[in-house]
Structure 1
């Protein structure tokens, strides 16, 4: 019985998704989301802030977290809580949708025929999505059917790469045409190219950057103090005038 109800729910979702293709889209309205709707972060966040400062774009952040809604509204920007009538209405009308992980960053059921821009959240130094054969069987009949169905309402999807070198990698990883991969760079890195903005680093200093990715899909904590002898390292770096910057994965 549970399987039957689940199947009915999925069928209903796809019917709604196809029906939303009939909605008139407002191309001055753009919805933003990130990390399955659970975070206000990443490339989506930076582009959202920039878009919110413009007069020719209405930018709306969609999130599952009420505290994030309050935080964004205090900043003077627009945000809606996931699953509310307000959020669904905005997504039904949006001409553009910006994400940084995948279509589940937003309620994609309501984005039929919207132009979706996936900014992604890094560079593919490892195999991701369709190239990651360990994640799931991407070529199973069930997965192929799902992909072909979703492509009809959500096929206007573009991926932002940081250089031409990554274009064929993105094509393979996301199984998209070359014209769906755009080389624009990542919004969160724009600050490094803007001479007017202060840089978040130590000018003239030697920097060592350590950015470990997640362990066991984020379930295993990264204990920096077990990796490095921090007191000894601090003394050594101070003597050499080096800075060690550590950014752990979420």
Structure 2
């Protein structure tokens, strides 16, 4: 069967199911999900809040049967995407709450529901309809009739506009509105559940009723994985670790539309090529430092090449890292907007941009405003520079310059203008109207 016929069938089936699904009556409940069938990010922490607050019946939908079973064992309501109940609730829920696209839940049955996109990052790199280069350009801006047909057939869910999004500042609200082609009036000006959760439900406090305590205990496990904080504490004791470093580079989306597995070979691993992991590991051991290596879900397979080095732990399979970000001493990233979330923590921040020119030409560009942003930390392009910085950090934890500290304060004001607006209260109000 030719690819053209396959795309024709896909287009007809997708559009037909989406249209028909819009006629189903919907009741007051929320179906929720996450990219890559994970239990992570903003939707996870809003789900955990709603389990405790009982604001609305919240149901988790995933394509991962093992995850669903583990959530059910924890006492939560969860169903696989194509189970009878998974389909039923996707067709009848008033609210769709997700981190990326409606396909986090079910892209075929969302018409008629109120769609709340919590998104999974901050608009540093161009996103969605603002993308103007790289492999994702033709998804949002197909030029030929052929490309327009492919885009409509294969990328249906990317074109479905949300009814609401959250934004922690006017800047983010404006950029999200443009990128998703919605109005700024559809924005909820508030912080993010992923960064607010452990402030609202402090793991170490003893306040609240027993139900609240039980909920916090559940959340600490970062379902369905083991207690990550306990793991870090144990490793620090075993290795006499004084500093915890999180290396979380951005997704290099030059391979976004590539299906050829040969392009995922270790020889093409940009991190192995850029970093001498043997030397890095030896330095970490000498400096009593522990490095947590966290790749984007789309690149997680690349981390398999570095799992055997002492004091380097691959955590790319963790659902997310928000449980431990307040215990990280240093974030190493490159072009990732994760550093914007980390502005709210005590961690130092450095940028290791080993492929700066190639990244700018092959991947999405940043928004123009980003060119004028002050830097939140030092910028390195060579591994030797980074390794020297780590050695200096081990001797003096207060090596961040006054300029960088001032810049962090300015950036925090730019990105977290509405952090004081309790996100859980705002979202509770939305679904209670």
Q: TM-score range by the shorter chain?
A: 0.7 to 0.9
- Partner in structure 2 of residue 215 of structure 1: 252
2:276 paired residue among 226, 239, 244: 226
State the 1:192 CA deviation. Answer: 5.2
Instruction: Say what the alpha-carbon RMSD is for the aligned residues.
Output: 3.5
Listed one character per residue, the Cα deviations across residues 10-56 of structure 1 (whole Å, up to 9, x for unaligned) are 213212211222211112x10111114x2111111111111122334
Task: Report the counterpart of residue 191 of structure 1 in structure 2.
Answer: 197
Measure how far apart 1:108 and its partner are.
1.9
User: Match of 1:247?
Assistant: none
SS in 2 for 1:125: coil
**Partner of residue 30, structure 1:** 30
Per-residue deviation at 1:191? 3.4
Q: Is the 8 A contact 2:32 2:43 kept in 1?
A: yes
Structure with the higher fraction of residues in strand conformation: 1
> In 2, distance between residues paired with 1:68 and 1:195?
23
User: How do residues 72-91 of structure 1 correspond to structure 2 at under 5 angstroms?
Assistant: 72-91=71-90
Between 1:166-175 and 1:205-214, the stretch displaced more is: 205-214
Structure possessing the higher radius of gyration over alpha carbons: 2
Call closer, same or farther: CA 1:195–1:60 in 2, change over 3 Å: closer
CA contact (8 A) 1:207 1:242 kept: no
Distance 1:30 1:221 in 2: 40
* 1:62 Cα deviation from its structure 2 partner: 0.8
State the match for 1:239 in structure 2: 395
Structure 1 position 79, deviation (Å): 0.8
1:97 — aligned with what? 96
Question: Per-residue CA shift, 1:102-121, capped at 9, x if unaligned?
Answer: 12212121111101111111
Superposed CA offset, 1:66-123 (max 9, x none): 1101111121101111212110001111000111011221212111110111111111
Moved more, 187-196 or 90-99: 187-196
Aligned residues of 2:161 and 2:181 also touching (Cα < 8 A): no
| TM-score, normalised by the number of residues in structure 1 | 0.79
What residue number does 2:174 align with? 168
Q: Normalized against structure 2, the TM-score is what?
A: 0.48
